[in-house]
Amino acid sequence: MPETVYITRRETFNAAHRLFRPEWDDRKNLEVFGKCSNPLWHGHNYVLYVTVGGEVDPVTGFVANLKELSRLVRERVIQKLDHANINLEVDFMQDRLASTENLAIGIWEQLEEAVNQMGAKLHKIRLEETENNFVEYFGKGNAFNH
Amino acid sequence: MPETVYITRRETFNAAHRLFRPEWDDRKNLEVFGKCSNPLWHGHNYVLYVTVGGEVDPVTGFVANLKELSRLVRERVIQKLDHANINLEVDFMQDRLASTENLAIGIWEQLEEAVNQMGAKLHKIRLEETENNFVEYFGKGNAFNH
Amino acid sequence: MPETVYITRRETFNAAHRLFRPEWDDRKNLEVFGKCSNPLWHGHNYVLYVTVGGEVDPVTGFVANLKELSRLVRERVIQKLDHANINLEVDFMQDRLASTENLAIGIWEQLEEAVNQMGAKLHKIRLEETENNFVEYFGKGNAFNH
Amino acid sequence: MPETVYITRRETFNAAHRLFRPEWDDRKNLEVFGKCSNPLWHGHNYVLYVTVGGEVDPVTGFVANLKELSRLVRERVIQKLDHANINLEVDFMQDRLASTENLAIGIWEQLEEAVNQMGAKLHKIRLEETENNFVEYFGKGNAFNH
Amino acid sequence: MPETVYITRRETFNAAHRLFRPEWDDRKNLEVFGKCSNPLWHGHNYVLYVTVGGEVDPVTGFVANLKELSRLVRERVIQKLDHANINLEVDFMQDRLASTENLAIGIWEQLEEAVNQMGAKLHKIRLEETENNFVEYFGKGNAFNH
Amino acid sequence: MPETVYITRRETFNAAHRLFRPEWDDRKNLEVFGKCSNPLWHGHNYVLYVTVGGEVDPVTGFVANLKELSRLVRERVIQKLDHANINLEVDFMQDRLASTENLAIGIWEQLEEAVNQMGAKLHKIRLEETENNFVEYFGKGNAFNH
Q: Provide the ipTM.
A: 0.94
Please determine, for residue B98, whether its predicted confidence score (pLDDT) is greater than 60: yes
* pLDDT of D144: 58
Contact status of C30 with chain F (Cβ, < 8 Å) = no
Summarised one tens digit per residue, pLDDT across range B121-131 is 999 999 999 99
* pLDDT of B89: 96
For chain B, how far is it from start to end, CA to CA, in angstroms? Answer: 24
Summarised one tens digit per residue, pLDDT across range E82-120 is 999 999 999 999 999 999 999 999 999 999 999 999 999
Contact A8 D99 (CB under 8 A): no
Q: Which residues of F are catalytic?
A: 36, 83, 129
Q: Which residues of chain F does C96 touch, with a Cβ-Cβ cutoff of 8 Å?
A: 61
- Write phi, then psi, for F38 (nearest 5 degrees): -45, 120
Nearest-CA distance A84 → chain B (Å) = 20
**Which residues have a Cβ under 8 Å from the Cβ of B3 and sit 6 or more positions away?**
A105, A137, A140, B55, B56
Contact A132 B11 (CB under 8 A): yes
Q: In chain D, which residues have pLDDT < 50?
A: 1, 145-146
Contact B45 E84 (CB under 8 A): no
Q: Which residues of chain F does C21 touch, with a Cβ-Cβ cutoff of 8 Å?
A: 59
Of A15, A40, A83, the CB nearest to C88: A40
Contact C8 E134 (CB under 8 A): yes
HEC string for B16-85? EECCCCCCCCHHHHHHHHHHHHCCCCEEEEEEEEEEEEEECCCCCCCCCCHHHHHHHHHHHHHHHHCCEE
Contact status of E101 with chain C (Cβ, < 8 Å) = yes
Summarised one tens digit per residue, pLDDT across range F95-124 is 999 999 999 999 999 999 999 999 999 999
Contact F132 E10 (CB under 8 A): yes
Nearest-CA distance C68 → chain F (Å) = 27
Question: What is the residue type of B12?
Answer: T
Please determine, for residue B135, whether its predicted confidence score (pLDDT) is greater than 70: yes
* pLDDT of E142: 75
CATH number of F5-137: 3.30.479.10
* pLDDT of C62: 96
* pLDDT of D3: 79
In the predicted model, what is the mean pLDDT of chain B?
94
Q: Which residues of chain D does B141 touch, with a Cβ-Cβ cutoff of 8 Å?
A: 1-2
Beta strands in chain D (DSSP E): 4-17, 42-55, 84-85, 121-130, 133-137
Widest pairwise Cα distance in chain D: 60
DSSP state of A36: G
Q: Which residues of chain E does F100 touch, with a Cβ-Cβ cutoff of 8 Å?
A: 7
Pick the closest to residue E81 from E131, E9, E20, E11 (CA basis).
E11
Of F12, F17, F40, the CB nearest to D88: F40
Chain F, residues 81-100, CB within 8 A of chain D, namely 82-85, 88-89
Q: Which residues of chain B does A34 touch, with a Cβ-Cβ cutoff of 8 Å?
A: 67
Of F62, F142, F144, the CB nearest to C99: F62
* pLDDT of C1: 47
Query: From the centroid of its chain, how far is CA F131?
Result: 16
Q: Give the separation between CA B14 and CA F15, rounded to whole angstroms.
A: 38
- Write phi, then psi, for A55 (nearest 5 degrees): -85, 155
For chain F, the structural domain boundaries read: 5-137
Please determine, for residue C146, whether its predicted confidence score (pLDDT) is greater than 50: no
Please determine, for residue B1, whether its predicted confidence score (pLDDT) is greater than 50: no
Which residue on chain F is closest to C24 by alpha carbon? F59
Mean pLDDT, rounded, for A5-33: 96
Q: Give the separation between CA F133 and CA C43, rounded to whole angstroms.
A: 33
Contact status of B31 with chain D (Cβ, < 8 Å) = no
Sign of CA dihedral E80, E83, E86, E88: negative
How many beta-carbon contacts under 8 Å exist across E and F?
A: 68
Do strands A133-137 and A84-85 pair parallel, antiparallel, or not at all (unpaired)? Answer: unpaired
Chains D and E touch (3+ CB pairs under 8 A): no
Give the burial class of A88: count Cβ atoms within 10 A of its Cβ; 0-12 exposed, 13-18 middle, 19 or more buried.
Answer: middle
Pick the closest to residue D72 from D115, D103, D136 (CA basis).
D115
Identify whether the C-beta of residue C126 lies closer than 8 Å to the C-beta of residue C105.
Answer: no
Identify whether the C-beta of residue D46 lies closer than 8 Å to the C-beta of residue D60.
Answer: no
* pLDDT of D141: 77
Summarised one tens digit per residue, pLDDT across range F40-77 is 999 999 999 999 999 999 999 999 999 999 999 999 99
Q: Give the separation between CA E105 and CA E114, rounded to whole angstroms.
A: 15
For chain E, how far is it from start to end, CA to CA, in angstroms? Answer: 24
Of E35, E38, E43, the CB nearest to B42: E43
Mean pLDDT, rounded, for C1-21: 92
Of D7, D9, D145, the CB nearest to B146: D145
Please determine, for residue E144, whether its predicted confidence score (pLDDT) is greater than 80: no
* pLDDT of E2: 63
Please determine, for residue B146, whether its predicted confidence score (pLDDT) is greater than 60: no
Beta strands in D18-130 (DSSP E): 42-55, 84-85, 121-130
Summarised one tens digit per residue, pLDDT across range D51-81 is 999 999 999 999 999 999 999 999 999 999 9
Which residue on chain F is closest to D37 by alpha carbon? F83
Please determine, for residue B26, whether its predicted confidence score (pLDDT) is greater than 70: yes
Chain E, residues 117-146, CB within 8 A of chain C, namely 131-138, 140-146
Please list the alpha-helical segments (H only) found in chain F. 26-33, 66-73, 79-81, 86-89, 100-117
**Which residues have a Cβ under 8 Å from the Cβ of B137 and sit 6 or more positions away?**
B101, B104, B105, B108, B124, B125, B127, D3, D5, D6
* pLDDT of F64: 95
